[in-house]
């Protein structure tokens, strides 16, 4: 009987233990899940934080980029470009100059040169102005022939562009800017002498009906202003006007200084070939020298057809023997005022050298 009782006691004890285990198992599972959840939550937060750090990390190096942008803005600021050539006493070009040999001054203040090089490949944009007034009647054919040979020698098809304009009282475009030398020669060939209006019984030219025509006159200055402002001002590269004339102006509304100033604003260099009929007063050398040298060009005065070809050859050499420098002005004022330029050659015997460049430029108007 005792054995049975003990067995039943053991059985009852086992059943109570099993019941207790089932009672506490959900709580243990909940605690385990909570612990795991907390661990998983902390891991997820750490992963999320690490992911945010990784996302933010590429955005950290902003300062170097900003500096680079500042440099880009600085380098993109307004630079002054100056073309110039240098010759010695024997009129030989100096082709071995280096940046340290050159000093540029603006209104007397030395400037820091940003770039310096010999300019051999910069595109050339050129307008040829041909005087067809009465004083050029007997020289016009020579001018056209020599001008055509000059175009063939200088213009590079597809790179340089040339326009042809004839002028007397008014300017007429014979050929817009083109890189086709054949079109340029055709335009030169089509230029013809324009006779002055008939003389009235009262003396002088017959007055025009509309009172505004300038036919028979010579408007040299107006033609330079119109060509610089309307045709060349917005063109890139080297901009040049070559004028074939005797330098006399009888009907312009603009003055000589205004023609020079407009060329400087448009960064145009003027070369003049002064030739005319001696019986009509010859050539006004003073006007052509001032017009050309103020803009960085030159004026030449051939006496006959042979010297005319030589004059064009000289101009060709000028265009192919140039240096280009650029600098950022220390004077940042945008007042539209005129700034005087001076280029000096140092480390050489400067007094024996001739430096040819434009005499200044106009600052931007801000």
The pLDDT value given to residue 341: 97
- The pLDDT tens digits of the residues spanning 166-178 come to 999 999 999 999 9
Contact of 322 with 95, CB cutoff 8 Å? no
As a whole number, mean pLDDT of residues 333-354 equals 91
DSSP 3-state of 271: strand
What pLDDT, on the 0 to 100 scale, is given for residue 197? 57
268-274 and 299-300 beta bridge pairing: parallel
Please say whether the beta carbons of 125 and 161 come within 8 A.
yes
Q: How far apart are CA 276 and CA 282, in angstroms?
A: 5
Q: Which of 328, 306, 349 is nearest to 109 (CA)?
A: 328
Q: Are 30 and 38 in contact (CB under 8 A)?
A: no
pLDDT for res 127: 97
Lowest mean pLDDT among 58-62, 173-177, 232-236, 314-318: 58-62
* pLDDT on residue 25: 43
Q: State the pLDDT at residue 214.
A: 62
Out of 13-17, 119-123, 205-209, which region has the weakest mean confidence (pLDDT)? 205-209
3-state secondary structure of 174: strand
In the block, residue with structure tokens 């008014």? 170
pLDDT value at 57 more than 70: no
Say whether domain 78-366 belongs to CATH 3.40.50.410.
yes
Question: Higher-confidence residue: 30 or 280?
Answer: 280
For residue 42, pLDDT beyond 80: no
What's the residue count for the chain? 366
pLDDT at 16: 52
Q: Distance (Å, rounded) from C-alpha 225 to C-alpha 195?
A: 24
Q: Cβ contacts of residue 343 below 8 Å, gap of 6+?
A: 82, 84, 102, 103, 104, 105, 325, 355, 357
The whole-number average pLDDT for the span 21-26 is 44
Helix, strand, coil percentages, rounded to 5, for the chain:
45, 25, 35
Radius of gyration of the chain (CA): 41
User: Which residues is 243 bridged to in the sheet?
Assistant: 129, 272
Report the alpha-carbon distance of residue 80 to residue 208 in Å, rounded: 46
From CA 232, how far away is CA 226, in angstroms rounded? 9
pLDDT at residue 359 greater than cutoff 50: yes
Per the CB < 8 A criterion, the answer to whether 165 and 226 are in contact is no
Task: Tell me how many degrees the CA angle 192-157-308 measures, rounded to the nearest 5.
Answer: 45
Phi and psi at 106, nearest 5°, equal: -120, 120
User: Residues 201, 114: contact at Cβ < 8 Å?
Assistant: no
Question: What local confidence, expressed as pLDDT, does residue 351 receive?
Answer: 84
Neighbours of 167 (CB within 10 A): 25
What local confidence, expressed as pLDDT, does residue 205 receive?
Answer: 45
**pLDDT tens, position by position, 299-340:** 999 988 888 888 888 888 888 889 999 999 999 999 999 999
């Amino acid at each position: 009987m005792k054995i049975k009782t003990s067995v039943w006691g053991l059985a009852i004890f086992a059943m109570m233990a099993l019941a207790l285990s089932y009672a506490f198992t959900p709580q243990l599972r909940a605690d385990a899940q909570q612990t795991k959840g907390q661990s998983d939550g902390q891991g997820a937060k750490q992963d999320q934080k690490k992911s945010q750090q990784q996302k933010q990390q590429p955005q950290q190096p902003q300062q170097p980029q900003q500096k680079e942008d500042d440099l880009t803005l600085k380098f993109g600021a307004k630079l002054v470009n100056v073309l110039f050539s240098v010759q010695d006493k024997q009129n030989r070009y100096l082709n071995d100059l280096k940046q340290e040999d050159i000093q540029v001054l603006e209104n007397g203040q030395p400037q820091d040169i940003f770039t310096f090089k010999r300019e051999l490949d910069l595109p050339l944009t050129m307008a040829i102005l041909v005087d067809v007034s009465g004083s050029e009647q007997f020289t016009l054919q020579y001018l056209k022939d020599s001008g055509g040979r000059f175009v063939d020698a200088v213009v590079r098809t597809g790179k340089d562009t040339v326009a042809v304009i004839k002028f007397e009282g008014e300017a007429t475009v014979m050929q817009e800017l083109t890189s086709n030398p054949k079109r340029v020669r055709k335009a030169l060939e089509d230029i013809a002498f324009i006779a002055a209006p008939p003389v009235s019984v009262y003396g002088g030219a017959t007055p025009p009906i509309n009172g505004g025509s300038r036919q028979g006159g010579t408007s040299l200055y107006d033609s330079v202003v119109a060509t610089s402002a309307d045709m060349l001002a917005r063109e890139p590269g080297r901009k040049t006007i070559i004028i074939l004339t005797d330098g006399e102006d009888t009907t312009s509304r603009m003055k000589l200084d205004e023609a020079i100033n407009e060329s400087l604003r448009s960064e145009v260099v003027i070369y003049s070939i002064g030739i005319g009929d001696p019986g009509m007063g010859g050539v006004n050398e003073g006007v052509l020298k001032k017009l050309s040298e103020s803009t960085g060009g030159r004026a030449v005065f051939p006496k006959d057809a042979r010297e005319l070809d030589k004059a064009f050859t000289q101009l060709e050499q000028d265009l192919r023997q140039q240096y280009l420098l650029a600098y950022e002005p220390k004077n940042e004022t945008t007042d539209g005022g005129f700034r005087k330029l001076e280029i000096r050659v140092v480390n050489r015997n400067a007094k024996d050298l001739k430096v040819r460049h434009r005499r200044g430029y106009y600052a931007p108007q801000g």
